[in-house]
Amino acid sequence: MRSPPKILAFDVFGTVVDWHGSIVRELQRLAPQVDGDAFALAWREGYQPAMQRVRSGELGWTRIDDLHRLILEGLLPRFGLSHLSPAEREHLNRVWHRLDPWPDVLAGLSRLKARYLITPLSNGNIGLLAQMAKRAGLPWDCILSAEVFRAYKPDPATYLGVAQVFDVSPSKVMLCAAHHDDLQAAAACGLRTAYIERPLEFGAAHMKDVSPRPGNELHARDLMDLAGQLGA
Amino acid sequence: MRSPPKILAFDVFGTVVDWHGSIVRELQRLAPQVDGDAFALAWREGYQPAMQRVRSGELGWTRIDDLHRLILEGLLPRFGLSHLSPAEREHLNRVWHRLDPWPDVLAGLSRLKARYLITPLSNGNIGLLAQMAKRAGLPWDCILSAEVFRAYKPDPATYLGVAQVFDVSPSKVMLCAAHHDDLQAAAACGLRTAYIERPLEFGAAHMKDVSPRPGNELHARDLMDLAGQLGA
């Protein structure tokens, strides 16, 4: 490896936490008759188009909590959940604050934290990320979010913002993510990249291809493997 | 007490960490011939006027790291330290990242964290606060800073910003600070207030009057006392 990074910035949805499994479990409790797998996938499918409305300027700055709620309102009739009260809708929307980490995450982050400064770099809002970390015990050194930079990934302001916050060159920051497009955008800004395999991101019925691609500096099975590769 | 707050936001310099003692100790190692007490007080005296230049618009948004450096450059000749190299000046400037917490802080914050979401609300920049927390072991749930809101306390955008980040009313946020002016500005925005006694903030030679004032909801000897009063 080149000279080691100082800051590890983590994508969160899919990389650190299992949004699909967590939403399926929530639906199972709330409405067992609903197809939780389809519901979770549909909610997440609305995510990029919703952020695009912000990126394009059609919507002013809007937090992910509010974008998730917008998408949810469209889903409820499709899944026979129109009877949910406003309070129930709000509680369901907050499931994104209650996502469970993948099994390797707490131990992996603890090892990495002993040697590096670890922070999320997520499109999730600060409050969402802080509540998620508190509930799950994610030991972040601080919480960086699109909300801090008022720009959504893959806007360069987010990747370069991490380096600026810590007053280091982009080459001292490594983005760790389960998504090649995120990593590619970070690399274009001069950040280092580590791909994390999350074959179950979309559920066991929709296995993801996690084979290595040449563009990434590191390729790790999970965060324990990453800690080993980074000498932590 | 009224219905309890959900979020505890802490002033940092003086309230959580002992800037005076930490700078005196740093100077003692670096330049024992210098009057560390006078040096620390002079550095801190430059702080409000420097932020005022940002608040007034004379300077664009400038982080505390850079304001501390501006002030430091003016102090070095006065204290016979003009011989310091650029690297030594930068290292000395980063003493604000290496401030030690008061003795009650780690245990007090750990207790409070079990029941409340705890965050700094400091004029210090995010990188400074994150490095300080990592070195000292401050167990923040997230790191909020003037840098997030692009405004310095006592600008209402900072106090109200905490409530907005967590999507709660200002009355669910309690500012904990050793400075009455900070607390007064927070109260004017609808936040709750807890005064923390820090009689040694300016050093043992300059004891601070820490007697209770009627405007504050709570008055605590230290963070252990605060934890007791808040049922944590």
- Is A128 inside any structural domain? yes
**Residue at B51 is within a domain:** yes
pLDDT band at A96 (very low <50, low <70, confident <90, very high): very high
Last residue within a domain, chosen from B67, B97, B127:
B97
Beta pairing, strands B7-10 & A218-220: unpaired
B111 and B222 in a common domain: yes
Q: How many whole angstroms separate alpha carbon A207 and alpha carbon B177?
A: 51
Q: Please give the model's pTM, rounded to 2 decimal places.
A: 0.96
Coil, strand or helix: which one is B127?
helix
Q: Is A196 on the interface with B (CB under 8 A)?
A: no
A27 with A112, same domain: the answer is no
**pLDDT-based confidence at A2, cuts 50/70/90?**
confident
- Average pLDDT along chain A: 97
CB-based contact B126 A144, cutoff 8 Å: yes
Element housing A176 (H / E): strand A173-177
- Strands across the sheet containing B7-10: B144-145, B117-122, B7-10, B173-177, B192-196, B218-220
Residue A88 lies in a domain: yes
A73 and A13 inside one domain: no
Nearest CA in chain B to A137: B141
**Is the confidence metric ipTM above 0.90 for this complex?**
yes
Question: B166 vs A125: CB contact, 8 Å cut-off?
Answer: no
Residue A90 amino acid letter = E
Torsion, Cα of A76, A101, A183, A232 (10° steps)? 170
The answer to whether residue B1 sits within a structural domain is: no
Please provide the average confidence, as pLDDT, over all residues in chain B. 97
pLDDT for the residue A82? 97
A1 assigned to some structural domain = no
pLDDT for res B13: 98
Res A64: pLDDT: 96
Query: Are the beta carbons of A131 and B117 separated by less than 8 Å?
Result: yes
Question: Which ranges of chain B would DSSP assign to H, the alpha helix?
Answer: 19-30, 36-45, 47-55, 64-78, 86-93, 105-115, 126-136, 146-149, 156-165, 180-188, 223-229
Cβ-contact A157, A144 below 8 angstroms: no
Query: Domain check: are A126 and A197 in the same one?
Result: yes
Interatomic CA distance for residues A118 and B148, integer angstroms? 18
- The pLDDT, as a whole number, for residue A93 is 98
Q: Do A141 and B147 touch (CB under 8 A)?
A: no
Q: Are B65 and B128 in contact (CB under 8 A)?
A: yes
Same domain, B120 and B224: yes
Q: Are residues B129 and B205 in the same domain?
A: yes
**Do A23 and A11 belong together in one domain?**
no
Q: How far apart are CA B121 and CA B166, in angstroms?
A: 13
Structural domains counted in chain A: 2
**Is there a domain that residue A153 lies in?**
yes
Q: Is B15 on the interface with A (CB under 8 A)?
A: no
Residues 6+ apart with CB under 8 A from A135: A97, A98
Query: How far, in Å, CA of A168 to CA of A165, rounded?
Result: 8
Q: Among B79, B97, B115, which residue terminates a domain?
A: B97
Residue B1 has pLDDT above 90, yes or no: no
Look at residue B85 and tell me if it is in a domain.
yes
Do residues A209 and A111 both lie within one domain?
A: yes
Cβ-in-10-Å burial (0-12, 13-18, 19+) of A205 comes to exposed
Residue the block writes with tokens 């497009």: A181
Identify the pLDDT of residue B2. 79
Does B173 contact chain A (CB < 8 Å)?
no
Asked which of A97, A132, A152 is the last residue of a domain, the reply is A97
Tell me, what CATH number does B44's domain have? 1.10.150.240
B166 and B70 in a common domain: no
Cα–Cα distance for residue pair B74/B97, rounded to 1 Å: 20
- Considering the domain architecture, whether residues A123 and A212 belong to the same structural domain is answered as yes
- Please tell me the distance from the alpha carbon of residue A127 to that of residue A134, in angstroms, as a whole number: 10
Phi, psi of B101 (to 5 degrees): -70, 155
Residues A113-142 have a mean pLDDT of 98
Question: CATH number, domain at B113?
Answer: 3.40.50.1000
B82 and B117 within one domain: no
Shared domain check, A149 and A62:
no
Q: Chain B: residue nearest A147 by CA?
A: B148
Please name the residues in contact with B176: beta carbons below 8 A apart, sequence gap of 6 or more.
B8, B9, B10, B11, B15, B194, B196, B220, B223, B226
* Residue B180 placed within a domain: yes
pLDDT, average across residues A177-194: 98
Enclosing domain of residue B120 = 7-18+100-229
Residue type at A20?
H
* A&B contacts, CB < 8 Å: 54
pLDDT digit string, tens, across residues A128-172: 999 999 999 999 999 999 999 999 999 999 999 999 999 999 999
- B56-111 residue pLDDT tens: 999 999 999 999 999 999 999 999 999 999 999 999 999 999 999 999 999 999 99
